């Protein structure tokens, strides 16, 4: 190996995964074995493994070994009136999930801002973990004002849907005010819950729902395993773009000068 040993190893293994020589779930040779195979030092092997783990192509487990990732790659349709379960089932994945925590906490700065409450005001915080075929996909926080929705936790615990819980509190119609998406490094707890590499990024999706008067009633924050999901915004948000009004149209990210 020359001066690009780790890239060569990365690309070689990446190719073998892509071409099907290495099947999902397969265990890779151990580091000493890879060292012999590629006739290189341990650092180069580890650098390549780290890069592939970061992309989500490998799953590295201390004490066990390194495996070809077999996590699902799902298209998650946002903005449609479908539920998580339907969303997954339509793509052949088996949805599951669990409630990790459910408590009343003082609103953080961000939550207070989203819900238009005072910082520190009591809010219901629900944390769920959703999975596809048993593989963690998303950590979902939801926040509702505990004063406005006193029975929220109880209703949700009884198995009521979000919509039903809102209706029980007199809200019969509500709207999505905004959805934002950005990427960041996973915190260590998140990486653990999502069963992904420490250095792998997550996609953070934040939403605010408002009632018919425009008053915020709910805020949610989803932490998604970035390598396992693609978001699709389709259909519903099709807005006709009319070239007739010249200053109002942008289809591409057009910033020529």
Partner DNA sequence: ACGGATTTGTTCGTATGTATA
Partner DNA sequence: CTATACATACGAACAAATCCG
By beta-carbon proximity to a copy of itself, the closer residue of 66 and 138 is 138
Q: Under rule CB under 8 A, which residues in 128-187 are in contact with a copy of itself?
A: 128, 130-131, 138, 140, 142, 159, 161-164, 166-167, 171-185
Instruction: Confirm if 53 and 12 have CB atoms less than 8 A apart.
Output: no
Q: Does 79 bind a copy of itself (CB under 8 A)?
A: yes
The listed partner (DNA, a copy of itself, none) that binds 44, CB under 5 to 8 Å by sort, is DNA
The listed partner (a copy of itself, DNA, none) that binds 213, CB under 5 to 8 Å by sort, is none
Nearest distance from C-beta of residue 28 to a copy of itself, angstroms = 19
Taking CB atoms within 8 Å and a gap of at least 24, the contacts of 235-242 are 235/79, 235/80, 236/79, 236/80, 237/79
Q: What character string, x for contact with a copy of itself (CB under 8 A) and - otherwise, covers 8-47? A: ----------------------------------------
The listed partner (DNA, a copy of itself, none) that binds 159, CB under 5 to 8 Å by sort, is a copy of itself
Q: Does 109 bind a copy of itself (CB under 8 A)?
A: no
- Two tokens, residue 154: 């109880």
Nearest distance from C-beta of residue 194 to DNA, angstroms = 15
221-239: burial string, b at 16+ Cβ within 10 Å, e else: bbbbbbbbbebeeeeeeee
Among 16, 29, 67, 97, binds a copy of itself (CB under 8 A): 97
By beta-carbon proximity to DNA, the closer residue of 43 and 110 is 43
- Two tokens, residue 116: 């238009």
Q: Tell me how long the chain is.
A: 257
Q: Can you tell me the distance from the alpha carbon of 57 to that of 86, in angstroms, rounded to the nearest whole number?
A: 26
SS3 per residue for 42-62: HHHHHHHHHHHHHHCCEEEEC
| Residue of 73, 68, 11 lying closest to 227 (CA atoms) | 73
Q: Does 69 bind a copy of itself (CB under 8 A)?
A: no
* Category of 15 on φ-ψ map: left (φ > 0), alpha (ψ -120 to 50) or beta: alpha
Q: Does 75 bind a copy of itself (CB under 8 A)?
A: yes
Q: Does 119 bind a copy of itself (CB under 8 A)?
A: no
Which residues contact DNA by CB under 7 A?
1-7, 28, 30-32, 39-44, 46-47, 49, 60-66
Instruction: Confirm if 17 and 68 have CB atoms less than 8 A apart.
Output: yes
């Amino acid at each position: 190996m020359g001066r690009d040993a780790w890239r060569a190893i990365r690309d070689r293994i990446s190719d073998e995964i892509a071409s099907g020589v290495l099947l999902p779930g397969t265990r890779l040779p151990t580091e000493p074995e890879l060292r012999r195979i590629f006739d290189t030092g341990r650092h180069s092997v580890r650098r390549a493994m780290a890069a592939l783990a970061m992309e989500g192509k490998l799953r590295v487990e201390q004490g066990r070994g390194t495996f070809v990732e077999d996590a699902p790659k799902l298209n998650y349709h946002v903005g449609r009136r479908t539920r998580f379960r339907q969303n997954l089932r339509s793509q052949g994945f088996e949805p599951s999930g669990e409630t990790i925590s459910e408590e009343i906490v003082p609103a953080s700065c961000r939550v207070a801002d989203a819900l238009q409450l005072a910082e520190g005001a009591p809010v219901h915080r629900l944390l769920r973990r959703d999975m596809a075929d048993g593989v963690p996909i998303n950590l979902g926080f939801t926040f509702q004002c505990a004063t406005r929705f006193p029975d929220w936790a109880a209703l949700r615990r009884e198995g009521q849907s979000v919509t039903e819980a809102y209706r029980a509190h007199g809200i019969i119609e509500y709207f999505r005010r905004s959805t934002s998406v950005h990427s960041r490094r996973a915190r260590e707890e998140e990486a653990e819950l999502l069963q992904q590499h420490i250095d792998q990024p997550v996609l953070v999706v934040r939403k605010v729902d408002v009632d018919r008067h425009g008053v915020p009633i709910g805020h949610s924050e989803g932490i998604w395993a970035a390598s396992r999901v693609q978001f699709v915004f389709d259909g519903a948000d099709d807005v006709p773009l009319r070239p007739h009004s010249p200053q109002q149209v942008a289809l591409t990210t057009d910033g020529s000068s």
